[in-house]
């Protein structure tokens, strides 16, 4: 039937990807086009952001457009013209699909067409999540991804019956809990999750930098201190300095523990 032919064509095309990219040269070009990944992604749709739509031409021909969302644009990877036949069933006229042929394509070779589309996605500079934001609501709902690295996610209900999600690849975990799984397909909610994850990462990096500076300073002070002779006056300055530093650290710890207590 015309109404389900587009999905059928897309499923068949996706099924062919595995065989097409068995070829070593094509595979290495594919890996490069996907952003130098180490293995062929399980589902190229996440990289292509591809979908299908059925359109009837002014002269009544039915075309299935296989396109990718490239930013705000829709770019046809290939257009298939359906050969249809009207049949009458119990007095009802139905349009059956007898076959399909390629009417136009980015490249007559489907592997080259896919590679060309992937190259354009890569050249757009958008990462997987940013590409995902441009897809339709329906597409996003069936392609839930981690807002940080773009890997596939599978939200689950936890004890509070709310939906949570986490990413096996980068360790991201949803900061918010959601009543509906479909919230993980909502652009604004996922952008907010991405922003929160970015902020948390920045705080973690700032801590690591501060901690490194602190330990470097302690090490260099300690090295100078233990090499000093007790015969020299400065030996006692080092010792005093050490005690003062310990006191300063202790005071900071007390303040932090107080903050923790008031939070409880």
- Which residues are near Zn ion by CB under 5 A? 146, 148-149, 151, 167, 169-170, 172
Q: In whole angstroms, how close is the CB of 202 to Zn ion at the nearest point? A: 17
Task: Kindly tell me which of 133 and 170 has the beta carbon lying closer to Zn ion.
Answer: 170
Sheet with strand 73-89: strands edge to edge: 50-56, 62-70, 73-89, 92-105
Task: Kindly tell me which of 111 and 197 has the beta carbon lying closer to Zn ion.
Answer: 197
Q: In whole angstroms, how close is the CB of 168 to Zn ion at the nearest point? A: 8
Q: In whole angstroms, how close is the CB of 147 to Zn ion at the nearest point? A: 8
d(CA 50, CA 58): 25
Q: In whole angstroms, how close is the CB of 149 to Zn ion at the nearest point? A: 3
Beta bridge partners of 55: 63
Task: Kindly tell me which of 26 and 170 has the beta carbon lying closer to Zn ion.
Answer: 170
Q: In whole angstroms, how close is the CB of 215 to Zn ion at the nearest point? A: 30
Q: Which residues of 186-196 are buried (b: 16+ CB within 10 A; e: fewer)?
A: beebbeebbee
Task: Kindly tell me which of 14 and 152 has the beta carbon lying closer to Zn ion.
Answer: 152
Backbone phi, psi, residue 143, to 5°: -135, 65
Residue 175 Rama label (left phi>0; alpha psi -120 to 50; beta): alpha
Task: Kindly tell me which of 83 and 169 has the beta carbon lying closer to Zn ion.
Answer: 169
d(CA 162, CA 78): 41
228: nearest Cα among 240, 216, 217? 240
Q: 65 is written with which tokens?
A: 């457009």
Q: In whole angstroms, how close is the CB of 172 to Zn ion at the nearest point? A: 4
Task: Kindly tell me which of 169 and 208 has the beta carbon lying closer to Zn ion.
Answer: 169
Q: In whole angstroms, how close is the CB of 76 to Zn ion at the nearest point? A: 31
d(CA 145, CA 166): 10
Beta strands in the chain (DSSP E): 50-56, 62-70, 73-89, 92-105, 156-157, 163-164
Backbone phi, psi, residue 89, to 5°: -130, 115
Task: Kindly tell me which of 151 and 228 has the beta carbon lying closer to Zn ion.
Answer: 151
């Amino acid at each position: 039937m015309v109404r389900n032919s587009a999905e059928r064509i897309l499923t068949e095309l996706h099924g062919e990807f595995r065989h097409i990219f068995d070829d070593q040269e094509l595979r290495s070009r594919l890996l490069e086009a996907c952003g130098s990944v180490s293995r062929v992604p399980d589902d190229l749709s996440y990289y292509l952001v591809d979908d299908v739509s059925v359109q009837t031409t002014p002269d009544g021909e039915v075309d299935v457009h296989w396109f990718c969302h490239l930013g705000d644009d829709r770019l046809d990877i290939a257009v298939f013209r359906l050969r249809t036949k009207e049949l009458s069933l119990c007095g009802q006229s139905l349009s059956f699909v007898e076959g399909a042929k390629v009417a136009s394509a980015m490249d007559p070779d489907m592997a080259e067409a896919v590679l060309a589309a992937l190259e354009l996605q890569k050249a757009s500079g958008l990462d997987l999540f940013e590409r995902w934001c441009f897809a339709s609501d329906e597409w996003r709902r069936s392609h839930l991804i981690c807002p940080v690295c773009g890997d596939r996610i599978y939200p689950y209900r936890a004890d509070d019956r709310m939906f949570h999600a986490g990413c096996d690849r980068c360790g991201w975990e949803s900061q918010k809990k959601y009543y509906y799984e479909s919230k993980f397909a909502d652009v604004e909610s996922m952008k907010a999750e991405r922003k929160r994850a970015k902020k948390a990462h920045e705080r973690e990096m700032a801590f690591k930098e501060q901690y490194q500076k602190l330990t470097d300073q302690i090490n260099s002070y300690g090295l100078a201190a233990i090499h000093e002779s007790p015969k020299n006056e400065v030996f006692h300055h080092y010792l005093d300095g050490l005690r003062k530093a310990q006191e300063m650290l202790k005071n900071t710890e007390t303040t932090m523990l107080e903050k923790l207590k008031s939070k409880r």
